[in-house]
Amino acid sequence: MEKPKYNKEINMFKYLDIIAYVFLINLSLYLVLKAKFSSNISIQKTNIYLWMSTITTLLETIFFHIYGLFSLSEKTFKDSIYSLALSIILINTLIWFITLFDRNFIYAKNIFLILAIYQYFILSIWTIFSWKVQEKLSPIKNLMIIGGKDEVENIIGKLTKEKNNNINIKYICNNIEVLEDYIDEIDEIVVCSNILDEYKELIINQSINYNKEIYIVPKIYDIVMTNSRLKEFDDMPVLKIDSLSIPFGKRIVKRLCDIIISSIFIIVLSPIMLIVSIIIKNYDKGPILYKQERVTNGNREFKVYKFRTMVVDAEKMTGPVLATDKDPRITPVGRVLRSTRLDELPQLFNVLKGDMSIVGPRPERAYFIKEFTKEMPEFKYRTAVKAGITGLAQVLGKYTTTPEDKLRYDLMYIKNYSLFLDFKILVQTLKVVFIKESSQGVVKDKEKVFRKLDIEGLDSSGIVKF
């Protein structure tokens, strides 16, 4: 079947978008260098422009891809502008750092501040235009959610909080026998994880027959199947599923990167860590660091280091409990450290020691692993790799992300591991570290949404209009 016209139009515009970004960022570079060198153009300075143009284009492609600037239709306007600013800062910082090691670029070393301003001004104009065009080319899509009540409610809550998803939830369904009667009225289908596999197969077949896009909330089985490889037993095709771990060679490279990155960060951030230490000590004269037993790969326990953000002996009366938003045990200094993630900096020494990695599932306490495993037996698979300072769950999840969804992210990271994925997560961490996630209003929004959902009607007819 032919794809909808609007899909072709927005895909064509995205190619134009990439070309425009490459042209405009190089135009900014040309204007700044021309103003800097004026009429005094030499072969050396021409070579500077060509080199900087090449490296700028390469870095722009990488960072714009990571921050989603080539897919503005999937982002909010505020996030698009913020991502643009951060990308330009990172690109120019990296190029400036590279030029420090080459005397040929002595003429260009003092242009990066004005270059960043030029780039942001010119590219933000295009970004605003591109965002509005892609918003116009992205029509509202009618959505059907198929699944049980609890998971359906969870998905509705998440979709209705998104401000730029161009989705209209039209039907809620828990009986696939009626799917074919309504499938012409919808564009996309979301299948909850609690749907039986035999029913999923039927839903997928119907979606293919009617050319509908389908989203499936994965079970652990689905995640483990990711990146399975085609093999043959004689003339019989089979899928080979690798163990849930990182291959030895990749672990060696990952460890070398951990040592290099943690060493650089410790040196660069040591003044900040010194200042934080002095502030914590002066606040209540208590310990600067908080040491706690956590679990890393192979269920090996180690002491994780963090700047202390709670009152001394915070769990003496309560025992092991997870910190909550507006937890009264958190000190005013600790609240600032948590919101800026500065409390995590001492974990760089855990990475250097080999207990942790820069990127990986966050380390949990043995007590909570035991508790979570009772409800989610697959939770123990997180310790197949070293715990990390940041991870996929931290950059894609939110404050309100459920333990089940965080587990999905952690297992997806292990199954899809690559050095580029680590780099991508590290770059995305620089973005989320400055975003304060708020959970206020979540319960109210949820109650407001679910007043529209006739659960009794769903149970009797198998489908309701949302």
The pLDDT tens digits of the residues spanning 47-97 come to 777 888 888 899 999 999 999 998 888 888 888 999 999 999 999 888 888
* pLDDT reading at 5 higher than 50: no
Q: Give the pLDDT confidence of 113-150 residue by residue, as tens digits.
A: 888 999 999 999 999 999 988 888 887 888 899 988 77
* pLDDT reading at 442 higher than 50: no
95: phi then psi, degrees, rounded to nearest 5: -65, -40
Query: What is the side-by-side strand order in the sheet with 463-465?
Result: 213-216, 188-191, 141-146, 167-173, 463-465
From residue 397, how far is each of 13, 84, 164, 410 by CA, in Å? 29, 21, 17, 11
Which token pair is 67?
């921050």
Q: Give dist(CA 242, CA 416) in Å, integer.
A: 11
Q: CA nearest 398: which of 194, 216, 214, 162?
A: 162
Which residue is associated with the tokens 């003092």?
A: 110
Average the pLDDT over 408-427 and give the result: 93
* pLDDT reading at 323 higher than 70: no
Specify the length of the chain in residues: 466
The string of DSSP letters for 294-359 reads: EE-GGG-EEEEEEE--B-TTTTTTT-S----TT-TTB-HHHHHHHHHTGGGTTHHHHHHHTSEEEE
Average the pLDDT over 241-261 and give the result: 91
Query: From start to end of 62-205, where are the E strands?
Result: 141-146, 167-173, 188-191
Q: CA nearest 199: which of 221, 177, 217?
A: 177
Q: Give dist(CA 424, CA 5) in Å, integer.
A: 32
Averaging pLDDT over each range in 233-237, 320-324, 408-412, which range is the top one?
408-412
Q: Give dist(CA 31, CA 20) in Å, integer.
A: 16
Sign of the CA dihedral running 97, 100, 104, 106: positive
- Residues with Cβ within 8 Å of residue 372, at least 6 apart in sequence: 364, 379, 403, 407
pLDDT-based confidence at residue 446 (cuts at 50, 70, 90): very low
- Exposure b/e, 144-176, CB count within 10 A at least 16 = b: bbbbebebbbbbbbebbeeebbebebbbbbbeb
Contact criterion met (CB below 8 Å) for 336 and 307 = no
